[in-house]
Amino acid sequence: MRSTVANTLPPPAVDGGTRASAKEAAPISQLSRLNRDGPDDLFICCTSFEERSVSISHKLAPTFLTRFGIIFAFEDTFHKEQADTNMFRLQGQLGRHATDGIFIIRCHRKNPLEGISQLKDIWSHCQPRFHHRSFITVDISGFPKILILELLRYIVDEMKLGLPRLVHTTQEYLPTKLTHGVQQVTTVPNFFGNLSLEKNTVLVLFLGFEPERCLAVWQHFNPNKTILLLTNPPRQDNQHYLDYARSNNEYLLSRPGVEVRDVPADNPYKVNIVLERIYSEIKGSHNMVIGPFGTKPQTVGVFLFCHKHPRVQVVYSLPARYTRSYLNRKPGVALELPLAP
């Protein structure tokens, strides 16, 4: 279960006093190390069939060094040939910068705790040297959203470390379905919340290009009030993205008791603010349940919010399969994410 003792996040690690005060996502041309006095502690990433899962590794500065690299990889991956190719590429690139070695964690996509359990097993070998001053970078580009939540919970809640530096590679927009079908609707482990049977539920869903998955969660809860969070403004002011997101979720958007609000694509701190406003409106009268089906940086914002509000529940629906459109999407801009004002 999640700890309910601490409700204040440790600050992000600071590089020269600038990172913690960043207000917007910053494009990355080269990624430098955080530690001015030697190698960083950890670089954590996840390989997948998406080309963007290896993009950041090609942007590591020649002087970037980390003591250890940790690569998550999936046993039950879709598009296995591409995933294996990316795994070898990522291992080779990161190997040039990891002074003490690389750990590979193999787990199943639908079981994030399997991966976190392996991380716990190796933690004593690769943990930061100084608990009060850690230098950790997490590339969330290849991580599934539920594993992003579990990884941040382990680092921040269990290990009591500051927020790591978070980097992310976006993808170029393609107006196509990303997944087909739904396997199951589930509560995210360690984000069960504490819902009151005496209160109605407000369901907060981040919309994306996977209407079946959002709809499955909505039908599961049958809430009397739903707030849909739509990414607006879209990346690079791409109106086609916004139009497609609306048309893709047209049925859900037209249901009674549904309200639509805007949320930024790549600013976890501002996503947290949007969720805080919703919570302040309904906290005394309703339960709050969140479904993160938007961008991965938005999922980081969900973690920031849930860390302070452990009574809130996070739910997810697993896709039956991924379409080949993922293989056709090219990496977009790489970003360092803002986590504090």
CA atoms within 13 A on the CB side of 62: 0
Name, in order, each residue with C-beta under 8 angstroms of 27's C-beta and a sequence gap of 6 or more.
Answer: 333, 334, 335
Q: Which of 319, 321, 334, 326 has the alpha carbon at shortest distance from 50?
A: 326
Query: At which residue do the structure tokens 């805080």 appear?
Result: 276
Query: Which pLDDT does position 160 carry in this prediction?
Result: 94
For the CA atoms of 231, 233, 234, 239, the dihedral, rounded to the nearest 10 degrees, stands at 120
Q: What's the pLDDT score for residue 141?
A: 96
Q: What is the pLDDT of residues 120-173, one digit of tens each?
A: 999 999 999 988 889 999 999 999 999 999 999 999 999 999 899 999 999 876
Q: What is the mean pLDDT of the segment spanning 316-332? A: 71
- Tell me, yes or no, if the two domains 19-169 and 179-325 fold the same way: yes
Query: Coil, strand or helix: which one is 183?
Result: strand
pLDDT of residue 51: 87
- 28: pLDDT confidence band, cut at 50, 70 and 90? very high
At 274, list the tokens: 């949007």
Three-state DSSP at 50 gives coil
- The Cα–Cα gap between 277 and 279 comes to 5
Give the chain's length: 341
CATH number of 19-169: 3.40.50
Cα separations in angstroms, 184 against 214, 216, 319: 12, 8, 8
The DSSP letter of residue 299 is H
Q: How does residue 14 score in pLDDT terms, banded at 50, 70 and 90? A: very low
Please report the pLDDT score of residue 115 as a whole number: 96
Task: Please report which confidence band the pLDDT of residue 9 belongs to, taking 50, 70 and 90 as the band edges.
Answer: low
Q: Is 50 exceeded by the pLDDT of residue 320?
A: yes
Q: Residue for token digits 């933690």?
A: 123
pLDDT, position 78: 64
Domains of the chain, residue spans: 19-169, 179-325
Domain covering 179-325 assigned CATH 3.30.70 in the classification:
no
Please report how many Cα atoms fall inside a 13 Å half-sphere around the Cα of residue 175, on the Cβ side: 12
Cis check: omega of the bond before 27, within 30 degrees of 0? no
Interval 73-112: pLDDT, tens: 987 666 778 888 889 999 999 999 999 999 999 998 888 9
Element (H, E) at 321: strand 313-322
pLDDT confidence of residue 326: 57
State pTM to two decimals.
Answer: 0.90
Residue type, 25: A
Q: What pLDDT does residue 328 have?
A: 67
- Is the predicted pLDDT of residue 20 greater than 50, yes or no? no
Tell me which of 270 and 7 has the higher pLDDT: 270
Q: What is the DSSP pairing of strand 313-322 with strand 179-187?
A: antiparallel
Q: Within its chain, how far is the Cα of 174 from the centroid? A: 20
* 41-70 residue pLDDT tens: 999 999 988 889 999 999 999 999 999 999
Overall average pLDDT of the 166-187 stretch: 76
- DSSP letter for 155, please: I
Nearest to 243 by CA among 258, 231, 255, 261: 231
Vertex 279: Cα angle to 277 and 284 (nearest 5): 130
Q: What's the pLDDT score for residue 5?
A: 35
Statement: residue 2 has pLDDT above 70:
no
Q: How far apart are CA 96 and CA 64, in angstroms?
A: 9
Alpha-carbon gap, residue 205 to 34, rounded angstroms = 35
Q: Across residues 203-220, what is the average pLDDT? A: 89
Only one residue has tokens 């005060």, namely 21
Q: pLDDT tens for residues 268-317? A: 999 999 999 999 999 889 999 999 999 999 999 999 999 999 999 999 98
Q: What is the pLDDT of residues 214-268, one digit of tens each?
A: 889 999 988 989 999 999 877 877 777 778 778 888 889 998 889 999 999 999 9
101 backbone φψ class: left, alpha, beta (φ>0; ψ -120 to 50): left
